[in-house]
Amino acid sequence: MPKLSVIIPTYNEAGTVKQLIEKVNSVPIDKEIIIIDDGSTDDTKRVIREIKLPNLKIIYHSSNRGKGSAFLTGLSNASGEFVIIQDADLEYDPNDYLKLMDAANLNSGAMVLGARFKEGHKGLFIHRLGNRTLTWILNLIFASHLNDYATCYKLARLELFKSLNLRAKSFDLETEIVCKAIRRKTKIIDIPVNYYPRNYREGKKIRFKDALWAVYYMLKFRFIN
């Protein structure tokens, strides 16, 4: 059993996915890399087919189902003791896995979040404001004290992820994971990570409507599901 399963949902990331996998593979930790091509329409399929690594699993969706669906496919194929979500761009630094794993090993049963706001957050002002506002709203609804709930880096034991009964199909995955973990009274730890944000021209996909949906799902998971 590998120590860590790195699940990489991928959609139209031909320009970055090879470099990202190389960075992930270079991290000195026992791991498997699971990349799910979520119906890409660019050159992503060709790029990942050419990558030959003994610890790499590649799974293809025949159509674009969303980040949540891709993660769930990866989760059902994971065999590591721990699982982390990794976007296929270069916004996050896989070398941060080491300190996230250290925190997880020191806090049995915890979920570890890679917090972008603890040591400053670069990027578009409106994007920073949106993330901070959504985290504040989530903390208000759940009486929590998180620094950055919407971070890509969420690391926990495989059995914890599976126990959350996740159903999200799209970017609401980020909200569902954290809300359900809080409701289970899971200990959640924020660890500062490096962050190199893209802008919308470079491929950032989150928009204002996604923020509205995030608040809807926070309320849903707090009071309904």
pLDDT tens digits along 147-165: 999 999 999 999 999 999 9
Q: How many domains does the chain have?
A: 1
Domain hosting residue 82, numbered range? 4-223
More reliable by pLDDT, 1 or 182: 182
For position 1, what pLDDT does the model report?
73
For position 125, what pLDDT does the model report?
58
Task: List the one residue out of 36, 3, 31, 30 whose CA is nearest residue 17.
Answer: 36
Is residue 143 predicted with pLDDT exceeding 90?
yes
For residue range 191-214, list pLDDT tens digits in order.
999 998 866 554 455 567 878 889
| CATH number for position 79 | 3.90.550.10
For residue range 85-122, list pLDDT tens digits in order.
999 999 999 999 999 999 999 999 999 999 987 765 55
Q: How far apart are CA 126 and CA 213, in angstroms?
A: 17
Q: What is the pTM of this model?
A: 0.92
pLDDT-based confidence at residue 132 (cuts at 50, 70, 90)? confident
For position 205, what pLDDT does the model report?
55
Could you give the angle at which helices 208-223 and 125-142 cross, rounded to 10 degrees? 10
Task: List the one residue out of 120, 94, 100, 91 whose CA is nearest residue 206.
Answer: 91
More reliable by pLDDT, 120 or 26: 26
Q: In whole numbers, what is the pLDDT of the chain averaged over residues?
A: 91
